[in-house]
Amino acid sequence: MATEKAVTPTEEQLEILEYNFCKVNKHPDPTTLCLIAAETGLSEEQTLKWFKQRLAEWRKSEGLPSESGSVRD
């Protein structure tokens, strides 16, 4: 299997990602994730990875465990 090269989102892509993270949903469902990926031009895998990393950062800043348990944010 080919490994996907790490891609740094552009400023415009980051704005879209941050907006969706902060204003729409920290846990996008597969359909929403697909739409965000299409809007940013990133793959679904790249978009999901960004959301996972961003959620871990957010949880750390809120003083929460880095992995979510049974309670959704």
pLDDT band per the 50, 70, 90 thresholds, residue 73: very low
Please indicate, yes or no, if residue 17 is contained in any of the structural domains: yes
pLDDT band per the 50, 70, 90 thresholds, residue 39: very high
Distance CA 12, CA 7 (A): 14
Report the CATH number at residue 27. 1.10.10.60
Q: Is the pTM of this model over 0.85?
A: no
Per residue in 8-23, pLDDT (tens digit) is: 899 999 999 999 999 9
Q: Is the pLDDT of residue 53 over 80?
A: yes
Give the pLDDT confidence score for residue 45 in this predicted structure.
95
Average pLDDT taken over every residue of the chain: 86
Are 26 and 18 a contacting pair, CB within 8 Å?
A: no
Instruction: Tell me the residue range of the domain where 28 lies.
Output: 11-59
Please indicate, yes or no, if residue 50 is contained in any of the structural domains: yes
Based on the structure, what is the number of domains in the chain? 1
Please indicate, yes or no, if residue 28 is contained in any of the structural domains: yes
Please indicate, yes or no, if residue 5 is contained in any of the structural domains: no
